[in-house]
């Protein structure tokens, strides 16, 4: 997750503070994803032969061994009955689709699926809405305020997930947390020693706060970088025609940045759906397994319950669901590359 979230849109993020400080010499690329997709302009047919294959082999080989092979063995494991006993005896009895039929007929599994989908939908909607809003705001601010806000966003973006989980646990601590103090100060009663991790819903609220807080900077700073490529004349024209802010957004900004919106939305869907660290490290899927999303469910089914075969089947089903989102994402990316 981190490589993607902190990597893909490098240009956008860094460009914003840079521009605000008036240091940037080059116009920012429209969006992070686009930037990474620079057409290889310099390529020309140089004599090939075996050399390119030799150069590519180490990369392909290592991905085959440590990525493809685990994926395949995950698939194989999902057709086997491997529990504690088999693990110790090192047996791997085949049971066909039993793990899958067991899961698909299990209401607990469907609860987790629905929960993951709802969690993803809520987070992505919030991330996109707030991120877009802040991006638009950044575009309207003066230089100094823009720098201040960009820096604050960069801090949130850069925070390692594990560290921010610990910080959020502290913010929402039962006894000495700032959250309870804030609620008391705002005049709410019942926050003397409120346990935020008491119910699954409340725990999800905190996880969502964490995920949204950590993901909005990516969208906002890229949104801003994208906005700078939409010429100001367009805004002016829209304003002259009497369009209000809302109209201007939907008729000028959105159509121009549609590829950015689509790509970012699908990226966020993929990232949030497979988020493990935020959910697991916050409360280990608790209280009472109420915050287990699919990746956490697979982990606990496997490592704690020692139903390795079932866990593998959960993983495969999760990957299949992710593939749906990914296929949209890849289609968008490839379309964009063709257009360039």
Partner 1 sequence: MSTTAQTPQAPAPQKLRTRKPLTVGAVAKNAAAIVLAVIFVFPVYWMFSSSLKPQSEILSKDPVFFFTPTFENYGTATGVDLFWTYVTNSLIVTVGAVLLALVVALAASFAIARMKFKGRKGIVLIVMMAQMAPWEVMVIAMYMIARDNDMLNSIPLLTAIYFVMVLPFTIWTLRGFIAAVPVELEEAAQIDGCTRGQAFRKVIFPLLAPGLMSTSLFGFITAWNEFAMVLVLNKDKTNQTLTLWLTQFQTAFGDDWGATMAASTLFALPVLIVFLFLQRKAVGGMTAGAVKG
Report the site for partner 1 in 133-172 (rule: CB under 8 A).
133-134, 136-137, 140-142, 145-146, 148-149, 151-171
The CB-of-181 to partner 1 minimum distance in angstroms stands at 5
- Please calculate the CA angle 281-156-215 and round it to the nearest 5 degrees: 70
CB of 111 to partner 1, least distance (A): 18
Of 315, 295, 328, residue with least CA distance to 72: 315
Contact string 13-32 vs partner 1 (x = CB under 8 A)? xxx-xx----xxxxxxx---
Going 218 to 224 to 228 to 234, the CA torsion angle's sign is positive
Q: What is the per-residue binding string for partner 1 in 250-279, x denoting contact by CB under 8 A?
A: --------------------x---xxxx--
- Shortest Å distance, C-beta 3 to partner 1: 4
62 near partner 1 (CB under 8 A): yes
Q: Is 256 exposed, middle or buried (0-12, 13-18, 19+ CB in 10 A)?
A: middle
| Contacting residue, 20, 79, 82, 200, with partner 1 by CB under 8 A | 82
Spell out, one character per residue from 207 to 226, where the chain touches partner 1: x when CB under 8 A holds, - when not.
Answer: ------x--xx---------
Burial zone of 70 (CB within 10 Å; 0-12 exposed, 13-18 middle, 19+ buried)? exposed
Point out which span in 93-101, 121-129, 199-207, 302-310 binds partner 1 (CB under 8 A): 302-310
Residue 281 as a binder of partner 1 (CB under 8 A): the answer is yes
Tokens of 304: 């704690």
Cα separation, 272 vs 189, whole angstroms: 33
For position 83 contacting partner 1 by CB under 8 A, the verdict is no
Q: Is 313 exposed, middle or buried (0-12, 13-18, 19+ CB in 10 A)?
A: buried
User: Minimum distance from CB of 239 to partner 1 (Å)?
Assistant: 8
């Amino acid at each position: 997750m981190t490589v993607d979230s902190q990597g893909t849109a490098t240009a956008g993020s860094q460009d914003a503070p840079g521009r605000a400080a008036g240091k940037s010499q080059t116009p920012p690329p429209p969006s992070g994803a686009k930037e990474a997709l620079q057409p290889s302009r310099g390529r020309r047919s140089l004599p090939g032969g075996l050399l390119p294959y030799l150069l590519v082999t180490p990369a392909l080989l290592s991905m085959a061994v440590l990525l493809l092979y685990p994926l395949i063995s995950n698939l194989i494991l999902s057709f086997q009955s491997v529990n504690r006993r088999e693990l110790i005896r090192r047996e791997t009895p085949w049971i066909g689709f039993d793990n899958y039929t067991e899961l698909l007929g299990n209401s607990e599994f469907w609860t987790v699926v629905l929960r993951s989908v709802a969690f993803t939908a809520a987070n992505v909607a919030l991330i996109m809405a707030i991120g877009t809003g802040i991006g638009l705001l950044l575009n309207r601010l003066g230089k100094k305020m823009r720098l201040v806000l960009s820096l604050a966003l960069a801090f949130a973006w850069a925070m390692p997930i594990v560290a921010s989980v610990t910080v959020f646990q502290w913010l929402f601590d039962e006894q000495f947390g700032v959250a309870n103090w804030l609620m008391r100060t705002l005049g709410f009663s019942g926050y003397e020693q409120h346990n935020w991790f008491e119910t699954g819903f409340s725990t999800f609220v905190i996880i969502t706060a964490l995920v949204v807080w950590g993901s909005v900077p990516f969208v906002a700073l890229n949104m801003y970088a994208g906005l700078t490529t939409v010429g100001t004349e367009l805004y002016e024209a829209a304003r002259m025609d009497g369009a209000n802010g809302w109209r201007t957004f939907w008729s000028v900004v959105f159509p121009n940045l549609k590829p950015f919106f689509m790509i970012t939305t699908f990226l966020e869907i993929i990232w949030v759906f497979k988020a493990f660290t935020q959910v697991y490290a916050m409360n280990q899927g608790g209280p009472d397994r109420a915050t287990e999303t699919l990746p956490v469910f697979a982990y606990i089914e496997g490592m704690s319950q020692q139903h390795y075969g079932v866990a593998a089947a959960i993983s495969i089903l999760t990957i299949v669901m992710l593939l749906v989102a990914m296929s949209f994402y890849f289609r968008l990316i490839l379309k964009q590359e063709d257009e360039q």
